[in-house]
Structure 1
Amino acid sequence: MSTTATIVLIVVVLLVLAAIVVGVQAARRRRLRQTFGPEYDRVVADTGNRTEAEKELLERTKRHAQLELKPLSPESRARYSAAWEEVQIRFVDDPQEAVTTADELVTRLIAERGYPTGDYDERLADLSVEHAATLEHYRSAHDISTRSRDGQAETEDLRQALVHYRALFADLLGENPVAHTTTPTADTPTEHSR
């Protein structure tokens, strides 16, 4: 084989390898975007580097794969649905307490499903793999709940927090938490009030 033919062959092989690498990276990026939805863009913005963000998301996926997640029994679903109805009823008389209880209820549900509940940021990272679509609701609810503890949230803010908590709660529960319960009062947050 001549030197020119060898060089051409090497260049062609390198181009093919480069195309394969670019294709694999594009496929991985599509998969991550599909899995994480808006969380993908949020992590890219937070890190300021797409490669670092993708490493972080891949680490989340690996960590998530090691969790021993459990589906809820029908009894647990019914118990959580009833507890959620109580939270909504309590909202009418004590919105701040209802939001605090909603936060505790969501945390218990997260734990029962098998997610660690220690550090808030790690909890978000673990939930982002399967519940990315409702993660922003959880962030918003948590933020309002924190402001509420500091006395900086109005009743409308608290109503919004409950609506946000309900989105993640329903996602974790796998169903509408009040689908089989009585109709909420006019003052109680409902799906229509989102």
Structure 2
Amino acid sequence: MPLGEALLVIAAGLILLTAAAIWRSFRRQHTEQLRRRYGEEYARVLAAAASRSRGEPAASMRNSHPSAVRIRPVVPTEAASIQREWAEITNHFSHHPEEALRRADQLIGRIMTMRGFSTGDSRQRYEDLTVDHGVAAQLYRAAHDVVLRLERGAASQDDMRRAMQHYERVVDELLRADVRAAPSVPAPKGDRSQRGFSPRQAAARS
């Protein structure tokens, strides 16, 4: 082989090796970003997809999905109404935990619709939450699972208390990042404040 052709072959090989190294580095960084962002959800999507090459695009699509709609902040007046309703729900939990839990689940759906998330079922809500609210998504799924078990008569009092605590954190997460100066909300008579709510304490006082 002439020297010139040999040099071209070597150069082409070096270019391919360099491109492959850059691609591997990009994939590692992309994988790490997805793992940090989605946590347990990343592992679940990968397991469901049976391979990283199919699972990572699925996780990335979740990142792009909510941007297709306009997610907006909750304005102070809306936040005040939500906080007032949440206080009423927590008070109701003492004597009617099943109904309070269902109302809490419905409230999460209304908040998400209010903010512009897609109006889907609980699975869609969960997937939307995974994009920017990974922890809240896990809590929502666990709490909603209790609601489903409640309909089958398979949820204990402890299950319902934990679910209410999860829902409280989801409400806080959906409000906290956007509302800078929400007005204070007059608490209903006998109210245990939203942030200090403990379903276990509520049940103990009933």
Q: Deviations over 1:83-132 (max 9, x none)?
A: 11111110001000010010011110111111113232222222210111
Question: What is aligned with 1:120?
Answer: 122
**Aligned counterparts of 1:186 and 1:138: Cα–Cα separation in 2:** 17
1:159 paired with 2:161, answer yes
**Aligned counterparts of 1:186 and 1:4: Cα–Cα separation in 2:** 75
**Aligned counterparts of 1:61 and 1:161: Cα–Cα separation in 2:** 26
Question: What is aligned with 2:89?
Answer: 87
Of 9, 15, 21, which aligns to 2:23?
A: 21
**Aligned counterparts of 1:189 and 1:127: Cα–Cα separation in 2:** 27
Moved more, 120-129 or 67-76: 120-129
Please report how far the alpha carbon of residue 158 of structure 1 lies from its aligned counterpart in structure 2 after TM superposition.
0.8
Please report how far the alpha carbon of residue 166 of structure 1 lies from its aligned counterpart in structure 2 after TM superposition.
1.4
Choose 1 or 2 for highest CA Rg: 2
Please report how far the alpha carbon of residue 56 of structure 1 lies from its aligned counterpart in structure 2 after TM superposition.
0.5
Question: What is aligned with 2:173?
Answer: 171
**Aligned counterparts of 1:183 and 1:164: Cα–Cα separation in 2:** 17
Q: Do the aligned partners of 2:165 and 2:199 also contact (CA within 8 Å) in 1? A: no
Q: Aligned ranges for residues 41-190 of structure 1 at < 5 Å? A: 41-174=43-176, 182-183=191-192, 188-189=199-200
**Aligned counterparts of 1:159 and 1:8: Cα–Cα separation in 2:** 68
Please report how far the alpha carbon of residue 151 of structure 1 lies from its aligned counterpart in structure 2 after TM superposition.
1.4
**Aligned counterparts of 2:10 and 2:198: Cα–Cα separation in 1:** 75
Please report how far the alpha carbon of residue 75 of structure 1 lies from its aligned counterpart in structure 2 after TM superposition.
0.9
2:42 match: secondary structure: helix
Structure 1 unaligned blocks of 5 or more? none
- Tell me the amino acid that sits aligned with residue 20 of structure 2: A
Task: Report the TM-score, using the length of structure 1 for normalisation.
Answer: 0.87
Q: Are the structure 2 counterparts of residues 125 and 172 from structure 1 closer, same or farther at C-alpha, using a change threshold of 3 Å?
A: same
Instruction: Detail structure 1 runs of 4+ shifted over 4 Å in the superposition.
Output: 179-182, 184-187
**Aligned counterparts of 1:47 and 1:76: Cα–Cα separation in 2:** 39
Structure 2 unaligned blocks of 5 or more? 178-183, 202-206
**Aligned counterparts of 1:186 and 1:127: Cα–Cα separation in 2:** 23
Please report how far the alpha carbon of residue 21 of structure 1 lies from its aligned counterpart in structure 2 after TM superposition.
0.8
Higher relative contact order (CA 8 A, sep 6+): 2
**Aligned counterparts of 2:152 and 2:38: Cα–Cα separation in 1:** 32
1:93 match: secondary structure: coil
How many residue pairs end up in the alignment? 188
Q: Deviations over 1:32-77 (max 9, x none)?
A: 2232222111211222211211110111122221111110111111
**Aligned counterparts of 1:158 and 1:123: Cα–Cα separation in 2:** 20
Q: Do the aligned partners of 1:29 and 1:54 also contact (CA within 8 Å) in 2? A: yes
**Aligned counterparts of 1:187 and 1:22: Cα–Cα separation in 2:** 48
Q: Do the aligned partners of 1:141 and 1:164 also contact (CA within 8 Å) in 2? A: yes
Q: What is the percentage of aligned positions where both structures have the same residue?
A: 29
